Amino acid sequence: MLDDLNISYDIIDVTEKPEYLERYPIFIAPAIVIDEKLEFTGIPKKQELLEKLS
């Protein structure tokens, strides 16, 4: 979905970078962080994501 919207992103494996678990309350994958704030756990609906990005 992010590729379709032409949005750049990084995929981070928290087992390789556990510092992200200290910064964000991620208990389920996937999770989406926008501007250093955990916005979604799980996969959001396209419209929800667009609203957070606008």
Each residue of 7-32: b (16+ CB within 10 Å) or e?
eeeeeeeeeeeeeeeeebebeeeebb
Q: Are 10 and 2 in contact (CB under 8 A)?
A: no
Comparing CA positions, the residue from 20, 21, 42 lying closest to residue 31 is: 42
Q: Are 28 and 14 in contact (CB under 8 A)?
A: no
- Rounded average pLDDT over 18-30: 89
pLDDT in tens, 33-53: 999 999 999 999 999 999 999
- Rounded average pLDDT over 7-11: 91
Q: What is the pTM of this model?
A: 0.76
**DSSP bridge pairs for 38:** 33
